[in-house]
Amino acid sequence: MQLNNTDTGLFTINTGVDDINKVHKINTWNGLKQVNFWHSVQCNMLNGTAGEMWPPFMDPSDTLKFFSPDACRSLELIYQNSDSTFGIPSFRYIAPKTMFANGTVYPPNEGFCPCRESGVMNVSTCRHHSQVFISHPHFYNADPVLWEAIEGLHPNEREHALFIDIHPLSGIPLNVSIKLQLNLFLKSAKGIFGNIDGEILDNFYTFMVVIPRVLQYIQFIILGLGALFLVIAATLGIILLQRNKDRESVTEWIRDKSTTSGKAPVLHLQSREEEKKKVLEGCLTTFTDLGLLNDE
């Protein structure tokens, strides 16, 4: 199964050929019958389906279980109400308030600890031990101390709750809104950060501002030169093509003349010496007629 071309692992699911109530339920994930990220057997279980479809003939007493590779655990949604989606009867399932509660608030979640404030879940054990926590957006259903500490957060059910509208007879989702928030746990390091100036600031500005901007300008210059060379090449191609056409026209004209006269046209040229001789003979004749020169 892939979401946005992201590999979420290989799921092996039940076909339901022996029991229709087991159709779409997970058998293995990446060859595993259970994960090993957590500290209890219950927390490591692969429950429900892969989140695409569920067994048919659902009842409001049923819960919606599925394994989420993003959360590295199985999640369970509870029935909220019956309604219709696009004119089709549906059940709406929502996340319980205890989904990301810590072990103190909800003891069955103790296996997902070490925990912090209720409403955020530590997934560092399945994220290369990076300090990553997941929660509902704006820390919805979390300890108020989390969202009250950040200006601009206003958690509410309409915008931040996740839900699935499912057709109870077929088990096919009709409308899905799965929203999770990724959080990084950072500790303040006093004494490290302060006013930065001098050579450190200059180097930071050079590598983070100047060099990226220069590279951007170079990119545009290269694109402009490429366009210019393309125009020059096209112009030269047009000129050469026109010259070839002119040569073909002259050749065709000569061929037509040759066909009409029966022989190739000859251009009679006179040399400069012959022209000089004719001019000189004309002058002598004129002077003789005027009596300026004897016939001798």
The domain spans of the chain are: 2-184, 199-268
114 CB-near residues (< 8 Å, 6+ apart): 122
* pLDDT value of position 204: 81
In this structure, which amino acid lies at residue 233? A
Give mean pLDDT, residues 93-120. 92
Residues present in the chain in total: 296
* pLDDT value of position 280: 64
* pLDDT value of position 114: 86
Could you tell me which of 44, 26, 27, 43 has the C-alpha nearest to residue 35? Answer: 44
Confidence tier at 279 by pLDDT (50, 70, 90): low
Give mean pLDDT, residues 15-21. 92
Cβ atoms of 60 and 29 closer than 8 Å? no
Give mean pLDDT, residues 214-218. 91
Give mean pLDDT, residues 67-92. 94
72 CB-near residues (< 8 Å, 6+ apart): 35, 37, 123, 125, 126, 127
* pLDDT value of position 275: 60
Cβ atoms of 139 and 145 closer than 8 Å? no
Query: For residue 173, how many other CB atoms are within 10 A of its CB?
Result: 18
* pLDDT value of position 2: 46
Rounded to whole angstroms, the Cα distance separating 18 from 129 reads: 41
Q: Where are the alpha helices (DSSP H) in the chain?
A: 144-148, 157-160, 199-205, 211-261, 272-289
Rounded to whole angstroms, the Cα distance separating 78 from 20 reads: 21
Confidence tier at 153 by pLDDT (50, 70, 90): very high
Cβ atoms of 46 and 35 closer than 8 Å? yes
Mean pLDDT of the chain: 84
* pLDDT value of position 130: 84
Higher pLDDT, 250 or 34: 34
* pLDDT value of position 288: 64
Rounded to whole angstroms, the Cα distance separating 285 from 290 reads: 9
Q: What percent of the chain has pLDDT over 90?
A: 57
* pLDDT value of position 1: 43
pTM above 0.85, yes or no: no
